[in-house]
Amino acid sequence: MKSERAADIERMLADIRREAAYTSDYIKLAAFSPRVMAAMASVPRHRFVPAELQEYAYDNGPLPIGHGQTISQPYIVALMSELLQLNEGATVLEIGTGSGYQTAVLSCLARQVYSIEIVEALGQLARSRLQQLGFHNIETRIDDGYLGWAQHAPYDGIIVTAAAPYVPPPLLEQLKTGARLVIPVGGRLTGQQLMVLEKNHAGEIRETQVLPVAFVPLTRRSARTHTTNESA
Ligand code: SAH
């Protein structure tokens, strides 16, 4: 059983390497760093995939996780992790915990990970799963991540794993100088682009388009919910 899984992980890593090579003109990299590949090798993806889809857990594709959401494709998780350029001491914010898989990969690459999920059932499941797996440098929260998490800002990197029609201004504000925001931008009609936004030392933002992608949309808490919260 154990060796089967090791073979599955090897196959997944080979698929990621192959796709990185195919897309090298877009991503301006010939390969992902050993650090990111080691993180991908160490997180047990099958623990983040629903029971009935276990046989596909190490395939290089997204999979449904319920509530109309998906666990991202391994290549995309590796790419976004790479684009963040995190070092061991980094504090990182993730919007869209989903299954918690990308969160776990980030926890291997940073000192502390904060992650926000808007769907309560998904956020709770991811939290207990990450605890069971022994990830201790992750804090999760159920909320609308559009507003970021001001309490722990500024961040050495911010990653959004759902597509926004435009870059949420609060996230740019919560980025350190020299840090990067990695986010899919666009809608159903325009198509989405994975973007990197880097804040330079003058506080200016430099934008780079990386690759066409297909993410689930970033949703917002309705105005009504906000009113209720404010009057409560
Ligand atoms: N990284 C996750 C991807 C999950 S899909 C994984 O690999 O499992 C994107 C997630 O973003 C979904 O779970 C969705 O519910 C969540 N999401 C959408 N809009 C959000 C928002 N405004 N704030 C926080 N999470 C959001």
Mutate to test the pocket of ligand 1, among 46, 94, 95 (most ligand atoms within 8 A of CB): 95
CATH number of residue 87's parent domain: 3.40.50.150
Please tell me the distance between residue 31's alpha carbon and the centre of ligand 1 in angstroms.
27
Active site residue 3: no
Q: Report percent pLDDT > 70 for the chain.
A: 94
Check 72, 81, 99, 107 and give the catalytic one. Answer: 72
Which of 72, 216, 225, 226 to probe ligand 1 with, by most ligand atoms within 8 A of CB? 216
Among protein residues, the one whose CA lies closest to atom 6 of ligand 1: 71
pLDDT at site 88:
96
232 within a domain of the structure (yes/no):
no
CA of 162 to the centre of ligand 1 (A): 5
Structural domain span for residue 47? 6-227
Q: Residues with Cβ < 8 Å from 106, sequence gap 6 or more?
A: 81, 84, 86, 92, 94, 113, 159
The Cα 72–Cα 102 span in angstroms is 8
- Is the pLDDT score of 226 beyond 90? no
Over residues 129-162, the pLDDT tens digits come to 999 999 999 999 999 999 999 999 999 999 999 9
pLDDT-derived band at 230, boundaries 50, 70, 90:
very low
pLDDT tens string 8-33: 999 999 999 999 999 999 999 989 99
Q: How many structural domains comprise the chain?
A: 1
Residue 160 lies in a domain: yes
